[in-house]
Amino acid sequence: MKSIKYLLLVLLASFASCDNFLELEPKLENTKILSLSTYAGLEEATLGAYAPLYSSNWYGRYFPVIADLKGGNAKASPNNTGRFRTEYTWTNDPSNTSSLFTNAYQTIVRASSILEYAEILNEPNVDEISLNHIKGESYFLRALAHFDLVRMYAQAYTYQPESLGVPVITKSEISYPERNTILEVYTQINTDLDKAISMLGVQSRTTTGSAAALANKYTAYALKAKVALYMGEWQNAADLADMVIESGNYTLYTAANYLDVWGKDAQSEVIFEVFGKDGQAFYPGFNEIGNIYYPNGYGDVCASDDLLNLYESGDIRSQLFQYHSKYPSYSWPAKYPGKSHIRENNIPVLRLSEMYLIRAEASLNNAIGYNALSDYNMIRTNRGLTAVGSVNLQDIYNERRRELCFEGNQVWDLSRTGRNLNRDENEIRITETDNIDIDFPNYRWAMPLPLNEVTVNKNLKQNPEY
């Protein structure tokens, strides 16, 4: 298919990997891996394909923060020094937009290169199951990267599937790609996930980091369930989420342990997470997600009153916020407490609770065979609340906010369901925001492509009205 010239050069200059996601060595100078023509080299390179996920432009900070800040779960705090102001006010332009583009395509090109070399590997005594698992991880990573890109830079699939998506890249060759349609991007995502499911084992490969940071078969099922949710394929979404729930591999947090699970490796609910460690190749340093939400660190972004008011009395999740003595009326999320220090966190991407919420939402949209109320109450009773007797779609939307806040979902939950952003006018005007409410549809729901990308590649069309 297509690929991106400068990303190939990045690949050749710095094909990461190495022990425990910790360091990046130039491929042509790497004393451990002389090439991708050995199984050991492919193993190491696969870790390198995961590495960009921890970049500050991706899960290391920007991607989760923008989803909650633009979606109404977060706001600029009194500590704010200008960080994320354009996202908060929905005033991004091509010169000031998400930089996810580069890091996500790094992962895509690395994963594609691994797949190309794995197909022609000629090494005696290589276990086919192990080789297939590495290939499955690469397909999963390529699907995840395309999914995050199309959410960031394109309109919702459920609104305009034939409009501009992002370039679909499946080979590491030099070219100047055009943008595929949103439909074509989602088709490739599903193709890659189907291949990942067929090749991955039910357990992740062993690692000295977090086991949940490497994909297995259920990781791919979970992502495919989420993709189906974004496509409005309700029965498929419910069935896939059910496969993960019924696997028995994961257990919901309870009210008794909920406050203690954050920041630790491979907790019972985590299906997939980005493993964070100081010293990794893409370690964000002071720009790591923990610091932006830490009131004694940068602390630029805090929780909105709109979100906080959704929590009922007795909900254990309402206790997962932190405060600053100077600003007693503000609350900062505490989902990223740090490990060795505040700027070192594992970032959850897929959790079991989301699978219950996917299955519940799909059930309310006429997926058959499942009980939305039972799934909704499963979350409630494990968060310290009593079961209720009825549930509707707005209840599920609110529950997604309470449960998944600060994990990178809310703005796209709004767009995929065609809902407007409505923020509290009195709260917002404290910070002199112009765009208090954003109606859907609107061109702003797709972030502009970075200016340098459309300048270098004349085939890359900018989003309309930017």
Q: What is the pLDDT of residue 218?
A: 98
CATH value at residue 22:
1.25.40.390
Place of tokens 């699939």: 157
Task: Provide the domain limits for residue 368.
Answer: 5-456
Name the pLDDT band for 432 (thresholds 50, 70, 90).
low
- Whether 378 has a pLDDT exceeding 70, the answer reads yes
Q: What is the H or E stretch that residue 75 is in?
A: strand 74-76
Mean pLDDT across 16-22:
38
pLDDT at 316 over 60: yes
Does residue 2 register a pLDDT over 70? no
Q: How confident is the model at residue 209 (pLDDT cuts 50, 70, 90)?
A: confident
Q: Please report whether residue 463 resides in a domain.
A: no
- What pLDDT was estimated at residue 435? 82
Give the alpha-carbon dihedral of 157, 160, 165, 171, to 10 degrees: 60
Q: pLDDT grade, residue 429 (50/70/90)?
A: low
Q: Is residue 166 part of a domain?
A: yes
Residue ranges with strand state E in 248-389: 270-274, 301-303, 321-324, 327-333, 347-351
* pLDDT one-digit tens code per residue, 90-134: 999 999 999 999 999 999 999 999 999 999 999 999 999 999 999
Q: How many domains does the chain have?
A: 1
pLDDT in the model for residue 9 = 39
Whether residue 400 lies inside any domain: the answer is: yes
**Residue 464, in any domain of the structure:** no
> In this predicted structure, what is the pLDDT of residue 430?
58
Q: Would you say residue 214 has pLDDT above 50?
A: yes
Amino acid at 103: N
pLDDT at 424: 86
Q: Is residue 461 part of a domain?
A: no
pLDDT of residue 1: 45
433 falls in which pLDDT band (50, 70, 90)? low
pLDDT digits (tens, 9 = 90+) for 417-427: 999 999 987 77
- Return the pLDDT at 6: 41
**pLDDT of amino acid 426:** 77
pLDDT band, very low/low/confident/very high, at 31 (cuts 50, 70, 90)? very low
Residue 251 has pLDDT above 70, yes or no: yes
pLDDT > 70: percent of the chain: 91
At residue 431, the pLDDT reads 58
Q: What is the pLDDT of residues 151-195, one digit of tens each?
A: 999 999 999 999 999 999 999 888 899 999 999 999 999 999 999
* pLDDT at residue 202, rounded to an integer: 97
Residue 289's pLDDT is 98
The model's pTM: 0.94
pLDDT for 174 equals 81
Listed as own residue / partner, the contacts of 9-13 with beta carbons closer than 8 Å and 24 or more positions apart are 10/106, 10/109, 11/106, 11/109, 11/110, 11/113, 11/172
Mean pLDDT across 354-380: 98
pLDDT band for position 12 (50/70/90)? Answer: very low
Residues 6+ apart with CB under 8 A from 426: none
Q: At what angle do helices 352-364 and 234-246 cross, to 10 degrees?
A: 150
Which of 24-33, 222-231, 340-349 shows the lowest mean pLDDT across its residues?
Answer: 24-33
Which structure tokens are listed for 144? Answer: 């995840």
Who's near 185: CB < 8 A, 6+ residues apart? 146, 149, 150, 154, 165, 166, 168
Give me the mean pLDDT over the 80-99 stretch: 95
The percent of residues above 90 in pLDDT, for the chain, comes to: 86
Q: What is the pLDDT of residue 381?
A: 98
437 within domain boundaries:
yes
- Summarised one tens digit per residue, pLDDT across range 444-453 is 999 999 999 9
| Mean pLDDT computed over 238-247 | 98
Residue 355 has pLDDT above 70, yes or no: yes
**Mean per-residue pLDDT, 72-84:** 94
Has residue 164 been placed in a domain? yes
Residue 270 and residue 332 in contact, taking contact as beta carbons nearer than 8 Å: no
CA dihedral 68, 73, 75, 79 (to 10 degrees): -90
CA-based radius of gyration for the chain: 21
Kindly state the greatest CA–CA separation across the chain. Answer: 68
pLDDT digits (tens, 9 = 90+) for 264-289: 898 999 999 999 999 999 999 999 99
Residue 76 host element (H or E)? strand 74-76
pLDDT number for residue 172: 86
Instruction: Please check whether residue 462 lies inside any domain of the structure.
Output: no
Closest residue by Cα to residue 46 from 174, 128, 120, 141? 141
